[in-house]
Each structure stands twice: as structure tokens, then as C-alpha cells.
A and B are shown apart, each in its own frame.
Chain A
Amino acid sequence: MTAAVETSDLTRRYGHTKAVDRLSMQIPERSVFALIGPNGAGKTTTIKLLMNLMRPTNGNARVLGCDSRALGPRELQRIGYVSENQRLPGWMTPGQLLEYCRPLYPSWDEGLARELEASLGLTARTPIRTLSRGTRMKVALLISLAYRPELIVLDEPFTGLDPLVRDQLIRALLGASADRPATVLVSSHDIDEVERLADWVGFIDQGRLMFAEPTASLLSRFRLVEVVSDAAAPADVQDPRWIVQGMSGRTLRFVDTAHAETDADLRITAAFPGAEIRMSPLPLRDIFVTLAARATSMRIEEAV
């Protein structure tokens, strides 16, 4: 597997706080990698470190084979970046911004730019500062895709957008990289959208990467288990691979995080003899919520 992005012990500290803590990961080429995690987990900081917008305190990152700290114009011609925080030149109209960006990229594809403009419904001729947030994100995506970058970095692109605009953005993203696949790194809270896009998922919490794996593998690994029994209680859940969600009447619910293993069914049956056991796959959103909730409760326990 060739990595488009590779980090090794990447760390960024603010005083005594570690925003990113020894983060090591690889983003395979041509994959769509979703970096998910709760608020303040370190997603945006990680992306800023990768984009050379910040300097790491320790460790290093390589982006398209280049040390992130040495990322220069040549590399940036191969990277598209869209962020909810980015300050676009508000005085320009979308057309003027396209004109401004065009000479910066030798690989600028005017045809693709027109296609994207049409598919995103970008007809505004007024300055960007007067546009809605959704339209601004469309503009940002357009000028980040029109030169067919090898790596597209999206930092919380869907936050605060209505479903229609989200859909337009995702379709534009997928459409633009259909004939020449690019690597996509997207951080988002919008797990439903990410699930449609991502073939890899990385979960980050408190600056630490908890795991990073293909979406398919992740979805097959997690199962919601419901045990209906008079005897079952949360205390019976001893396996560290199980995350208890709670008890409702006679039904105990927990998430098995290692269901891909061959003996997973046997382990569960053996733990609850005679009980009625129902197992169902978890959508990515529920996996995220489960992991985030566990991370929060563990922090509370540690603090106590």
C-alpha cells in the first residue's frame, strides 16, 4: 500500500495541552479517508499540521512524499484544501476567484471548472462575503477541484449545511475524481455523509488516533448485541471488547467491537446461556457515538 499521507508520532502541544498526541497513521493513495472524532479531538489541528499551516512540536508527517514542514508551492499545486475556517477573499466574486486561482495551477481544467460550476449551481455574481455559507463552501470546493489535485483535504466541509447542499458537494467531489481518482482526507461530524464517502475511517480522541481501518472492516467489526433474559445485567459484560450501552427492561444492549473474529458468536452465546440474543450491524454514526461516549466515560472515570 502506498501512502498519500503518512504521519509518525505527530505531536502538537499548546502549553501543557496536547492537541495532537503521537499520532501515527497512513492514508492510502486513492482512498477516501474520514477522520472522525468528538469536538476538540484534534482533527483540525492534525489537518493544519499536514497542510503546513502549523508546525508540529514533535514527530513528522509526509504529504505526497514531502515533509509537511517543507510543503511549498509545487506540492500545493497537487493538493486541494477546503475548510470551514478558511477565509476566502470576500471581496471577489466567484468568477473573479476562479480567475485568480487559474494561473496558479498548471493542471487547471477549465472544462471541469465549468462542469463543477454548473453541477454546483454556482450562478452568483456578487462578492463572496455576501454569499451564504453553503454557496461559499461550493466556491471553495470548486476552486479546490478544478485543477484535479492528487490529494483533497476537507476540514469539516459539511458543518451547518442543509442536506441538499451536502448532497451537491458530495456529488461534485465524487464526480470530479471519478475518472482520475484522488486521495481524499475528510474530517467531519457528519457521519452519515462520511459513510457515503469514506472507504477508510480514522477515529481520533484527545489528539490520539484510536484506530484507522477500512470502513468495510469497521462496519463488519461492530455489532449491536441485544440480550433478552431475566438474568442478564450490565455487570455480566466482562469482555473488554464489549461496550455496554445499557439495560432496558429485560434487554441488555452492548456493542461488540470485535465481531469480525470467527468465534464472536460463540463468545456471546457462552456468556449468556439460555438468553435470547439478537445481533444487528451498526451504522457508522452509531459506532462513532458509541466510541465517543466510551471515551468520555473513561475520561470521567480517570478523573474520578
Chain B
Amino acid sequence: MKLLVHLVRADLRQFRWAILLWLVLVAAETVLTAIRPAFLTDLRVYGHVGMILNLLWFALQMAMLLMVPLIVQAHPAVGTDAFWMTRPIAPRKVFASKVVLLSTLTVLIPCIARLGVMLWIQVPVREALLVVLDSTIARAAWLALLLTGAVVTLNLARFALLCGAVFVSLLVFMTILFMWARTEAVETLNGRSGPPVLPPSEDPTQLILFLLGVIVAGFGLAAIQYRTRLRRMSVPTGAGVLVLMAFANSYWPFPFLKTPSALPAWADDANAIQLRAASPEIEMSPVSGWAIEGVPTLRHGRTRAIVSGLAPGWMPRLVLLGGSVTLSNGATLASRDRGYQSAPEIEGSSDYPSRVVAREVLGVQRVFLSAPPGPEMAITLMLPANEIDSMMPANGTYRGYFGVYLAHWEAAATLPLRPGAVFQDPHYKFAIEQVDTGPDRQIAVRAREWRATSSFDRKPRIAYAFYVRNAQHTHAMAGNASEPFEGMIATSGWLPFDFTAGGGLAPFFVRAVLVSFPLSYGLPEQKVDWDPRWYADAELVIVRTTETGAVLRTLDMPQVSLVAKR
């Protein structure tokens, strides 16, 4: 233990300025993340702070790329000339000292800082800890990768070369993967397709296991490299462990992080949700912008599908899983592709389904929102032009398989349209800071929001939408919510660990949000008449949308006509 402390102290002393700079960067990023929403009254300042945060994120990535090899290579695990190798210092102690120092700097401190921010803005402790667990695993995996590169190279230049080589290899691998996926897609489009099954629900188990595999393989490789100083021992062992973990991962039988189905009991009843076509007609039209070498020109078939049996507040979304048409001449043509989504008609209303469900949830007669005037036609078939064109027009029997994805909409809160109004869920908080009426008379709500979700939540995906309505409930208007400033450079939103306040996919973010309510929603009939009395009595309704899952349904059209449409 004494030796471990001694080694860590030596590294701290050697890299004191680099470490200090790192800590300053982490602290600056943490503080700015926490206080940035306070600048939302001045969007210009808010934007500048956002840009600084982006730069800080970039600086932190660069600093980590430099710091890990520098600290590791102060006691290199390759070569024969390192000072420590001929001193009474056990290799395992050197390895342990590097792990302790680097884990503290690059995992522990940023995670504690992030936890501090979350607790300061009153994220519930459980949610905050789960987000931190998520970040810890992702950061440790990233550290393990960098550690691996650092222990098998002698100096920074070789580390940089290795990184470059890995980057190029990844590009080659991605290209091969892309070509393989394209071949698969072409084969599917040329006639090979699987049975219609619903894709499994969201399950981050494999991602977490993969990250744990990276951690075990990376740290294992580093430990072996320090012990043997032989790359021919450590690299194959690390690669072997990774392959083994990947193999175990693909056959992992316990999806312990899988989101359980949140479908209501009534949805399981096969008679509850039904699909039918509004007319016995499928319109076959050319697929625009579709030209892949080796794939015939395709025609897609569309029809108006109607979903019935839904309870109020449930929004359907159709996803084509497969389908075929048997023509009167006996030929059966199967759809060559799947996965196409559409917003179908809800039984009893020819309006766009979002407007229908929003009316139900908000209890108003009319809702203004940006959407097509009516339901979307559902894509039912994808057929090669050379097969179908010669038979057109044709009659036959159609059967399609669809996933009916159900989202539950509910009014989560009704807030007065004034500063200080707050809504909070366990994973989300929305607090109004300012309500403006612009010169064009549109309402804009400036608010702070945070979201804290993690792979360990095991909860369905939830989104929030904003509407204003007045107490008379005559009509409601949908708000367009967005962060007032989007970063000029890539932020970590796409990464499994967050490092900035931006980015909707990050497990945690805290930011300002600008919800604007325009007077026009694209369509002539979706123009709002300005009425100051209506606005004086308006309130903000937050609608919580929960993606609960999907049921498999068939769409049967016993006597269908395939008609060409340009």
C-alpha cells in the first residue's frame, strides 16, 4: 500500500500541471453545465456559454487522449530501458498505481462532478446514481481502450500512430460492414426475407455487457503487459477475452435490463386492436430516389389503413413487417422490404392521428399542430417493377403483417403560463422562467429542463410535448420545443456518456428550452386567430408520451385491386 501511494504521488508530482489543467477543465465544464440554464434570459450569452461548453468537451477529449498515455508511459510496460524495471517495484503495483490515478481522474472525478450537478438541481438520488453508474461504465470502457493503447506503446508518438492505425482499421471495418449490410439488403430486396416478427423491445443488456467486456479485456491486457512486458502475450490475451466476451454476449440468456412491456391488458386481446383497409385498393407507385446497383426498380403499394379498438389517449403507429398479394392468375408476390412506418387513421376520425389523440387528452375541440391534414397511407407492399408492372391493373388477395406500436398520451401537468411554474417527473423537470409574446404575437416560453435516464431504468421511453389551451377548452396549440442554441461542433450527445449539457440522447442533460407557439402550423386551416382574451386565460399542458410496446396484427384485403399511380 505504501509503495502504491509512493508511485501515485510520484505521478501526481510529475504531471501536476497536466492534472491541474484537467481538473480545471472538469470543474469549468461542471459549473457551466449547472449554471448555463440561468443565462436563458439572454439567449446570446446562453449561446456563448454553449459554445464554451462544446469547446470544453473537445478539450477534455483531447486532454484524456494525451493524459492517459503520458501517465502510463511514465512507467512504460514495453522496452527494456525503463528505470522502474530494474528497481524493486512490483509490476502489479505500477499497474495498480496507474489504474488508481487514471480511474480517479477520468472516471471518478467527472462522475462525482456530474452527480453533484444532478443533486444540486434536485434530480432524485436514485435516478442520479443510475445515471452515474451508466456514465461510470462507459467512461471506464473508454479508459480501458486508451489504457490498452498506452501500455503497448513506448511513447506518445507511437501511441498516436497506433490510434491512427486503429482509426483507419475501424474505417475499413465499417466499410466492410456497410458493404455486407448492403449485400444483405440487396438479397432481401431480391426475394430473401424472414418471417414477420416484432422486433424485441429495447434492451441495453448487451451494450452494458459489451462495455464490461471492453473493461475486462482492456484492464486484463494492461495487467498482463505490465507483468510479462510481452505484447505477444498481452495482446492475444486481451483480444481473446474480448472475443470471448462478445461471444458470451451474443448468447447471453438473461436480459436483465430489458424494458418490460408496458402494454395495457386490453391490447393483448386479439380482438381489441384491429386493422382494416378503408378501401379495397392498393395504389402502386414508383419509389422515388431509389437506385441501388443489383436491385430492381421497386414499386410500393399503399392503402388507407384504419386502426380500431383503441382506448382514448392511445396513439398508434404502423410498421410493415411483411405482406404478400396472391393475384387472380395464381401468382403470389411477397413484399421485398419491411420496416416502413405510417401514422394510420384511427377509427371514427379522418384527421391526422396526433390531432385526434391530442384532442382526447387535452379535452378540446380543436388542436393546432404541424402535421398533414389527414392520416398517412400505410405502405403495404414493396414489389419489383419488372414483376408487377406487366400485371397491372391486377386483382387478388392481400395479407399484410404489421406491428402496431402504441404510445400512451396523458396530460401530465397543467401549469399556469407564468414564471415559476414547475413540473417534475422522477426523470424529468420543466420549470418556466419567462413567458414572452413576440412582435408577431406568438407565445414563447423560456424554461429550464433536465432529464436523467439510464440503461438501468428498465422503463419505457418517455417524451414530453407542450400545448397551450385556455380554460374554456375551445382549442389548443402545440409548442415547438428546442434548445435555443445548438452547438457549432459535435457534442457528446451521441456518446454513451454525456459530457455537455446539450444533446437529447445523453443520459443526463440540463439545459434551457424554448417552447414557441406559432400562429400558423403550415396548413390554411391550421392558422390561429389572435385573441388576447384567449391568451390571457391560457395555460400550459405538458403531455407525457410513453412508448409502451407493440402488438402484431394482420391486415387482410380479400378482394384487392392493385392500381398504378404516378
What is A's interface to B at a CB cutoff of 8 Å?
Answer: 48, 51, 53-55, 72-74, 76-77, 79, 81, 83, 85-89, 91-92, 96, 100-101, 103-105
Contacts and interface: CB of A to CB of B under 8 A. Distances in A.
Contact of A86 (B10, B83, B88): B83
9 residue pairs, one from A and one from B, having the closest CB atoms: A73-B88, A53-B80, A81-B86, A76-B88, A77-B88, A85-B81, A87-B81, A104-B88, A73-B90
Interface string B75-105: 0000011110111111000000000000000
Contacts of A104: 3, 6, 87-89
Interface string B497-534: 00000000000000000000000000000000000000
Interface string B1-42: 011001000100110000000000000000000000000000
Contacts of A72: 88, 90
Interface string B412-425: 00000000000000
A89 B74 contact: yes
A97 B81 CA distance: 17
Interface residues of B, number: 18
Given A100-B10, A103-B2, A103-B6, A89 B89 contact: no
Contacts of B10: 89, 100
B87 A101 contact: yes
B14 A91 contact: yes
A89 B81 contact: no
| B2, B86, B87 pick with most chain A CB within 10 angstroms | B86
Contacts of B88: 72-74, 76-77, 104-105
A140 B144 CA distance: 34
Contacts of A79: 86
B14 A89 contact: yes
A257 B154 CA distance: 46
A48 B229 CA distance: 13
Contacts of A81: 86
Given A100-B10, A103-B6, A88 B83 contact: yes
Contacts of B230: 55
A53 B77 CA distance: 11
Contacts of B80: 48, 53-54, 85
Contacts of A53: 80-81, 85-86
| A54, A73, A77 pick with most chain B CB within 10 angstroms | A73
A83 B81 contact: yes
Nearest to A99: B10
A226 B11 CA distance: 63
Contacts of A77: 88
Given A77-B88, A104-B88, A105-B88, A89 B6 contact: no
A240 B274 CA distance: 107
Contacts of B89: 73, 76, 104
A76 B86 contact: yes
Contacts of A74: 88
A92 B84 CA distance: 14
A104 B2 CA distance: 10
B524 to A, nearest CB: 73
Contacts of B86: 51, 53, 76, 79, 81, 83, 86
Contacts of A100: 6, 10
A89 B83 contact: yes
| A55, A85, A91, A100 pick with most chain B CB within 10 angstroms | A100
Contacts of A54: 80
